[in-house]
Chains A and B, each alone.
Chain A
Amino acid sequence: MSAGSVQAAVRLRVDLIACDGRGLCAEALAELITLDDWGFPIIGDQAVPPRLLADARETARACPKLALWLERG
C-alpha cells in the first residue's frame, strides 16, 4: 500500500438474472469464483486482491452474457 493513498475495495459482482451458467468465469478466475451444483458462479463478498485485479477485469470482459462486473467501494 503506498503511503497516503487509500484504495477503495473492489468487488466482483454477478447479475444472476443475466447469468446463464456458462462457466467461463470460474475457469478464468478459479481463485475467486467457484460454481454451484448447477453451474452458476458463487462469488464471495470479499474484495479482489490487487494481484488479481487485472485477471478479474479480463474475466468480466470474457463473460458472454455481460453478467459480471467490478464494483468499487
Chain B
Amino acid sequence: MRGPARPCEHVALPAVRLPGTLPRLLPAGEAAGPVSLAGHLARYGPPPAGLSRRQRESLIAEVARAGLTGRGGAGYPTARKLAAVAAGHAPVVLANGTEGEPASAKDKVLMTRSPQIVLDGAVLAAEMVGAREAVIVAHAAARGIIDDAVAERARAGFDRVRVKVRTAAQRFVAGEASAVVHWIERGVPAPMASPPRVSERGLRGAPTLVQNVETLAHLALIARYGAAWFRSTGTPAEPGSMLVTVLGAVRVPAVLEIAIGTSVGQVLDLAGGRSAPLQALLLGGYFGDWVPAAAAIGRPFSSAGLADLGAGPGAGVIAALPAGACGLRETARVVRYLAGESADQCGPCRFGLDALAGQVERLADGRGADAGLLQRWLGQVDGRGGCAHPGGVVRLIRSALRIFDAELREHAMGWCCGTTSVLPVPPGRSR
C-alpha cells in the first residue's frame, strides 16, 4: 500500500491527477460519511514513506518553501516548528483537533469527512521530526470516525509510526498547545507555564509538535505534490487554501474550503449569500474582531487584506450579524461565556474577565457602564496571563466598542435595536 520513497522533486506518479482546483482537503462531492482509506488513496495517491534523514530534512525545506502556516488561528510558520521539534530528542506529535471555539466547525468537519488526510499529515509530521508516536486529539464528535480510520490503517499495516487517539476536552482554552499536553498528561485542560515551550518540553517531557489538524492535512498534500503546487492557489504572501466556517445570517451556514484571499463577499455567496441585510461581521472567531459589513465585503479574506480593518482571518470564522441583532448584546453573551471559560489559573483572567463581562453586560442592557473603569480594566487584563485568553477577550471588546458606537448611543437613550441572536454560546458553567 505504500509508495516508493520519492525524490525531492515530487514527480507525480502516473494515473494520479494533481488536484488542480478546490476543494483540496474536503471531499469533492456530497459524499455521505467519511472517505475510506481506499478512496483517499485513489484520490491523492500514496504518501511518501520510509524517509531517510536527508529526505526528512528536504521535506521540511519543501514545507518552508510552500509557506504553510498554522491553521489553528495563530498562523505560525509550520516549517519553523517542524525544524525546532526535529532538533530535539525523541519528539512526539500531537494532532490538535480540539476546536474549543464554538463558532468554528472546520476541524470537526475535516476530521469527520476526511479523516485519512489528517492521519496522513500526523504520520508524515511524525516521520519528518523523527517521532515514533503521533497522538490525535479529536473532538468528541469526531472520535468514533477517527478511531475507525486509525483501525483501517492499522489493518493495512500502513504506518510505521504508532498512532493513538484521545478525546479532546470540551473547553474553550483546551485547544491551546500546552493545554492539550496538560489534558493528556493529567486530565486538566489548562495552559501550562511557558518557558519551556512545548516544542522543547511537552508531553512526558519530550519535544512536542502540536499542530492543528487542518495544518497537518495541508502538510500531507505538500509532501506529495510539493511547494509549487501548494502555492498555485491563495496569494503569494499567504499561499494555499484554508477552511472557513461561515455562520450567522447566511442562507447556508457551512464549512467551506477557499483560496486564501478570496473576497469576503464571495465567501458569503458560497454560503448561499446573506439571509438578511448585514450590519457587521465577526472575523476570526471569538478572539477576533468585529468589522462593519459594508467595509469588509469587498476585502480579501487574508491577513494582508483585513489588516487595515484591524482584523484577520484567525481561526477561519466569518459570523454574519444581521441588522436585526444587537452587536453589544452578542458581544456581552460571548464575553460572559469566555469569562466562564477561564482556566482560573491567573488572577487577571479569573477576576478581570468576570469584571469586564459585567461591564459589557451593563452596556448591552442599557444600565450604563463606567467608561473609566472599563478602559482601566481592559488595560489591566490585556496580555496578562499564562495564555492568550485574556488578550483575546480584550480584543473582542475593544472592536465591539469601536464598531457598535451607534448602538451605545441608542442604549444610552433606552432603546435597543436587536433581538436576534446568531453567535453560538454553549450553556455556561455558572461561577
Contact = CB atoms under 8 A, between A and B. Distances in A.
Interface of A: 15-21, 36-40, 42
Contacts of B380: 36-37, 42
Contacts of B352: 36-38
A16 B191 CA distance: 11
Contact of A16 (B347, B355, B377): B347
Given A17-B191, A17-B192, A40 B386 contact: no
Contacts of A37: 352, 355, 376-377, 380
Classify the interface of chain A: helix, strand, loop or mixed: loop
Interface of B: 191-193, 345-348, 351-352, 355, 376-377, 380, 384-386
B385 A16 contact: yes
Contacts of B346: 16-17, 19, 40
B191 A36 contact: no
B193 A36 contact: no
Contacts of A40: 346-348, 384
Contacts of B385: 16
A16 B346 CA distance: 5
Contacts of A18: 193
A2 B347 CA distance: 41
Most buried by A among B347, B376, B384: B347
Q: Count chain A CB atoms within 10 A of each CB in B346, B376, B386 and give the residue with the most.
A: B346
Contact of A15 (B348, B376, B386): B386
A53 to B, nearest CB: 21
A38 B193 contact: no
Given A38-B348, A38-B351, A40-B348, A17 B384 contact: no
Contacts of B192: 17
Contacts of A19: 346-347
Contacts of A20: 347
B384 A36 contact: yes
B377 A17 contact: no
A39 B351 CA distance: 10
Contact of A21 (B191, B347, B376): B347
Nearest to B385: A16
